């Protein structure tokens, strides 16, 4: 569910059963006598399995997610340049429920359109919905191997991929909105937005209605 109480549908691909037993990845935080012992268990599982599901954390606010993430890594990034609307729970913790309810949330890799993207990330919630609410995760190494075994995969490897983004102007009035360039780059200045775009090596163009196309 999004923050307006509307269903947020995330579509998996294929018609086969893709569920894995989540219990194989769970760590119950209540069974540890010390934070150090818990942290060691989290690190070990992350290194061995690449997925950690924490339960009974006692978390009271989503800003606390950063502390859990710091058990594994410290080099948190900002969300500058990201394409999805994001509210902020703290300096390094962002909401994922701000996408307009008419937009379907497809299964995806986070920020794959940026020159650098997360090697891992932490997600969490304070309450579980009565129905739905599934979080999809997959093994990217296995997925990549399967794609590269196809003609399409080899073509992607050889030719690469081009992303075209149209970021609307917050102050331009009635436009179909996903995310404005002002919110993408945390500035109302075209010059500052252009600095970021140029630093990434992107082609860009300002459209007559104020939209920034990259």
Q: Is 26 helix (H, G, I), strand (E, B) or coil?
A: strand
Q: Closest Cα partner for 89 from 55, 123, 115?
A: 123
Q: What is the pLDDT of residue 142?
A: 82
Write out pLDDT tens, residues 140-181: 788 889 999 999 999 999 998 888 889 999 998 766 667 889
Task: Give alpha helix (H) positions in 125-189.
Answer: 140-148, 151-159, 181-185
Residue 50 — very low, low, confident or very high, per pLDDT cuts 50/70/90? confident
Sign of torsion over alpha carbons 29, 33, 34, 40:
negative
CA distance 107 to 136: 8
Q: What is the pLDDT of residue 1?
A: 45
Write out pLDDT tens, residues 78-106: 666 766 656 777 777 877 766 666 666 66
Q: What is the pLDDT of residue 133?
A: 67
118, pLDDT greater than 70: yes
Global pTM reads 0.68
Q: What is the pLDDT of residue 104?
A: 65
Q: Is 39 helix (H, G, I), strand (E, B) or coil?
A: helix
The predicted model gives 58-79 an average pLDDT of 83
Buried (b) or exposed (e) across 30-42, using 16+ Cβ within 10 A?
A: eeeeeeeebeebb
Q: What is the pLDDT of residue 193?
A: 94
64, pLDDT greater than 60: yes
């Amino acid at each position: 569910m999004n923050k307006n109480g509307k269903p947020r549908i995330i579509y998996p691909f294929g018609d086969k059963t893709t569920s894995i037993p989540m219990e194989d990845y769970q760590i119950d935080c209540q069974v540890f006598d010390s934070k150090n012992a818990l942290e060691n268990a989290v690190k070990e599982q992350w290194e061995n399995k690449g997925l950690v599901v924490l339960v009974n954390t006692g978390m009271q606010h989503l800003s606390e997610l950063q502390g859990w993430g710091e058990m594994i890594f410290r080099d948190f990034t900002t969300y500058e340049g990201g394409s999805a609307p994001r509210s902020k729970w703290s300096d390094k913790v962002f909401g994922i429920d701000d996408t307009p309810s008419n937009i379907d949330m497809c299964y995806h890799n986070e920020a794959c359109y940026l020159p650098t993207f997360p090697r891992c990330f932490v997600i969490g919630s304070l309450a579980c919905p009565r129905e739905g609410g599934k979080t999809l995760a997959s093994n990217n190494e296995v997925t990549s191997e399967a794609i590269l075994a196809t003609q399409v995969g080899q073509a992607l490897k050889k030719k690469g991929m081009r992303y075209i983004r149209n970021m609307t102007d917050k102050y331009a009035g009635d436009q179909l909105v996903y995310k404005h360039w002002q919110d993408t780059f945390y500035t109302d200045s075209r010059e500052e937005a252009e600095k970021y775009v140029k630093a990434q090596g992107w082609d860009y163009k300002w459209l007559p209605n104020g939209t920034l196309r990259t």
